[in-house]
Structure 1
């Protein structure tokens, strides 16, 4: 499957810049990590601890593959129309999980904007808490997208 260089980088990067990716936002919300505003209040992140927890989870769980192609954008819409991609909000609105995932991400953003700006955000969900939250949310993805 095609993945942009940004997606490949997000899957394996440990730099601070990766914290703004939509893939990480989606996974962090599904894992139950608390999204917070930092700095000037415009940037949303799971905080240093949450981002580290998410990076650890991503290193142990998801797999990302890609195919080099001269015009990958030409394949993207066709692949999305043929595959069941419950985490793709950009082009897969027909997916049964689309509305729930969009709502989950919107709730996390709203909550982050209500909370005070965090100078040093920390993870409020331990790895053990993630292991408890994730199966429930993943089974919801399976039920809605199957």
Structure 2
């Protein structure tokens, strides 16, 4: 079993900007029904499962966004529905729980705050390779 930790909202900005209005509900919806451009988890899973699910990261729209295309995103959503589970904890400061979880647990799918993970370099390289390949392909 692999774990991934995500939070919502993120820590309040210290530069005077308004805090994030994102909710845990919208975050989970993005992970399950969104696309690789809007979900680091979907991007990571799609890159890891690319061969198994026949997924190819592609540039879409204006060419700056990248997704697995409608069919690929659908296959990834189906895989997640069959293999992924979500649990959540309510907290007034979820960024503190996230930091502690990443510090104390083995969370190879988390890249942010997790540079000491043995898998960080491999996963970062895989995602970068997929993005580089997508940039060489025509825009869908």
TM-score by length of 2: 0.76
The alignment status of 1:109 with 2:127, answered yes or no, reads no
Cα deviation, 1:35-59, whole Å, max 9, x if unaligned, reads 0001111110000000000000000
The alignment status of 1:8 with 2:28, answered yes or no, reads yes
Deviation at 1:105, TM superposition (A): 0.2
The alignment status of 1:23 with 2:41, answered yes or no, reads yes
The alignment status of 1:39 with 2:61, answered yes or no, reads yes
Q: CA RMSD in A?
A: 1.5
Q: How do 1:68-107 residues align onto structure 2 when only pairs under 5 Å count?
A: 68-107=90-129
Structure 1 segments (4+ residues) deviating >4 Å: none
Unaligned ranges ≥5, structure 1: 119-146
- Using CA pairs under 8 Å that are at least 6 residues apart, name the structure with larger relative contact order, 1 or 2: 1
- What is the alpha-carbon distance in structure 2 between the residues aligned to residue 76 and residue 46 of structure 1? 28
Q: 2:85 maps to what in 1?
A: 63
Look up the SS of the partner of 1:44 in the other structure. Answer: strand
Deviation at 1:2, TM superposition (A): 6.4
Unaligned ranges ≥5, structure 2: 9-23
Q: Is the 8 A contact 1:89 1:102 kept in 2?
A: yes
